[in-house]
Amino acid sequence: MKNVRGGVTAPRGFVAAGVHCGVRKGKEKKDLALVLSERPCAAAAVYTTNRVIGQPCIVTKEHLADGVARAVIVNSGNANTCTGPQGLADARRMAELVAERLPVKAEDVVVASTGVIGVPLDMAAIESGMDELVAGLSKTGNIDAREAIMTTDTMKKELAVAFELEGKTITIGAMAKGSGMIHPNMATMLGFITTDCAIETGLLREALASCVNKTFNRVSVDGDTSTNDMVVVLANGMAENAGIAERGAGYRAFCEALDYVGTQLARLIARDGEGASKLVECTVSGAADEDEAVAFAKAVIGSSLVKTAMFGSDANWGRVLCALGYTPGTLDPDRIDLAFESPRGYIEVCKAGAPLSFSEEKAKKVLGDQEISILVDLGLGSAQATAWGCDLSYEYVRINGDYRT
C-alpha cells in the first residue's frame, strides 16, 4: 500500500469541484462541493447518533436505502438542521439541482451540510452556484472540493492510497472536515471516501462500519456530538477487479487500506481541533477486552482536565487515573502503569498505581511537543486500543464564543 495524490478524485472515474456560491455571506471561501462518479456506485454510510439530526442526513438515509449512489453535494456555512419541513425540502432540492444538470437520478445523490444550526439554508445562493460547480468538475477538482467543505478547519484533510489486488491496482481516496463539535459516536465531522474497487454492497457497509468504529469513533475534540456527522463511501468498480463478494484475502486487504485512510483522517481531525495546539493520543493496553480498552482511551482524551494539562505541558498524571476511574469497565488502580511520550522523549510517571520520581523539567519538555502519547497499561489482560484528541486552549473558547455572530 502506498500514498498517492488526488484525494477523492484519485480513484478511477471520480471527478470533483468546489466553488463559492454565497452561503457564507461576505466571504470568498468556497462553500459548495460536488463529487461525481462516471458509473453508479455501491454506497454505504454511517451517521450521527444525535437524536437532533440534520435534514441532509435524513435525505441521504433515504437515498442510500438501496445501496446505490453516484454523486455527493455538500455545502458549508449552514448545517440545514432544525429548519423544519422547509429544510427537508431544501435538502431534497440540492439533490434535484444535481440531477437537472447531470445524467444522475436525484435519489442517487448524497446530500450533506455543515455549519450553523437553526438558520434557513440560502437555496438561492446554492442554485446560483450550480452551473459553475458542474462546469468545474475535473480530476484536479479535489483541491477546491476539500476547501469547500471546511468550516472552522485550519487545514485541509484528504488522503489517497493504492494497493494491489488480483493483479489490479485499487485506489481509495478521501476528504474530511471537522474541527469543533467533534465527539463522534456513530457514527461537526463529515467524511467522504471514494474507491474504484468492485465490492458487494453488504460487505462495503460492513467494512465502513468496522472502519468508523476503529477510527472516527475514537476521536474527541470537545465532547459534543454533532447533528450532521456522516461518513460515506462510494465504490464504482472501475479498477475491474473480479469483485469482493466474501470475507477472504481480498476483503481483508480492502479493510486494511480503508482502516488506514480512516486512521489518518481521524488523526488530522484531532490535530485540527478548534484552538488546539497539540494532538493527544492515548493508547490503553493490558485491558480485559477491546471494548473496555476503547472506553478507557476515549475517556482519557475526552477529559477536560487531561486536555488542559496537555495544553499547559503539565504532567498531572492523576487526572488520567481519575478519567479511568469514572469509566465503566474492569479496573484495578493498583495495577496501572502510566507514561508520557513524544518525539522529544519518554517519561514514566506512575507504576502499579503509585507515583514514580521523575524530572518535572523533562516532563515539561516531553509534553511541550505538538504530538503527545499517553501510554496506559492496565495490567489485566491483552487487549488494547488507541483514541485521538487534542488539548483544550483559550482559543477554543474564543472561536466558539462568537461562532454564530
Residue numbers annotated as active site: 188
Q: Which of 304, 302, 277, 287 is nearest to 219 (CA)?
A: 302
- Bridge partners of 60, per DSSP, are none
Question: Which residue blocks in 272-383 are alpha helix, DSSP H?
Answer: 290-302, 304-311, 318-325, 360-367
- Bridge partners of 33, per DSSP, are 18, 74
Cα 54 from Cα 58, distance rounded (Å): 7
Query: Torsion angle, CA of 48/49/55/58, rounded to 10 degrees?
Result: 90
Cell of 151: 468550516
Using a CB cutoff of 8 Å and minimum separation of 24, what contacts does 335-340 make? 335/286, 335/378, 335/379, 335/380, 336/376, 336/377, 336/378, 336/379, 337/376, 337/377, 337/379, 338/374, 338/375, 338/376, 338/377, 339/375, 340/315, 340/366, 340/367, 340/372, 340/373, 340/374, 340/375
Cα 123 from Cα 222, distance rounded (Å): 31
Neighbour tally for 395: CB within 10 Å = 14
Cα 221 from Cα 387, distance rounded (Å): 11
Tracing cell 488480483 back to the chain, one arrives at 166
CA distances from 323 to 6, 298, 305, 326, 329 (A): 40, 9, 9, 6, 12
